[in-house]
Amino acid sequence: MADSINTIIPGRSRSERTRNPDTASGSALDSGGATRRAFLAAAGGASLALVVRPAQATPETMAAAIRQVVGEASVKPGKIKLDLPPLVENGNTVAMSVSVQSPMTAKDHVKAIHVFTEKNPQPNVISVKLGPRAGKAEISTRIRLADTQNIVAVCEMSDGSFWSDKIEVIITLGACLEDLI
């Protein structure tokens, strides 16, 4: 037992029984190692140095997100229909469908459908890539909405054109919200 690094002292708890004979007190700090307590104290101090900004999209961030998708191309109204109820009691689950007028042939089809919001934590809600084999240019899903806001749907056609539709939805009980401490 004398050859082992740690000496077992009988009659004490496991943490008290094991002691490093090379150090006077047997603590990990004396041997140059870090303890959990020291790590947590350092991590707590480091987290105080971080600046936390609540995530919330604005009309400007929504416009920037749309511009990131379409680039310098112009976005024209029409061809796409965004369907949401105009008044929603609970923003936790809102039914949404988007359809685009397109023959969905190899030469004329919808390449992508994008949906953006202006007051959710992130402006991009969903992006769906389609092709001529999709048959119909329609999607249906449920989304969460934080507050009364405008929702914009943009579709990209195979000829490079972009079309949009916009609808305002009134929310009585918002979702996507976090209480700040």
Sequence spans of domains, the chain: 7-49, 59-173
- What CATH class does 59-173 carry? mainly beta
Residue 125 CA to its chain's centroid (Å): 9
Cα→Cα distances 76→70, 80, 117, 129, Å: 11, 10, 18, 19
Q: Beta strands of 91-161 (E only): which ranges?
A: 94-100, 110-117, 124-129, 138-143, 149-157
What is the 8-class DSSP label of residue 24?
A: S
Q: What is the pLDDT along the chain (181 residues), one digit of tens a residue?
A: 555 555 565 666 665 555 555 554 544 444 556 788 877 777 776 655 555 455 678 999 999 999 999 999 999 999 999 999 999 999 999 999 999 999 999 999 999 999 999 999 999 999 999 999 999 999 999 999 999 999 999 999 999 999 999 999 999 987 776 555 5
Name the one residue in this structure whose structure tokens are 């009134």. 170
Residue 113 CA to its chain's centroid (Å): 19
The helix or strand, by DSSP H or E, that contains position 7, with its residue range, turns out to be strand 7-8
Q: Distance between CA atoms of 5 and 48, rounded to whole angstroms? A: 39
Q: Distance between CA atoms of 18 and 87, rounded to whole angstroms? A: 67
Contact predicate 110/157, CB 8 Å: yes
Q: What does the pLDDT read at residue 29? A: 47
Q: What does the pLDDT read at residue 175? A: 78
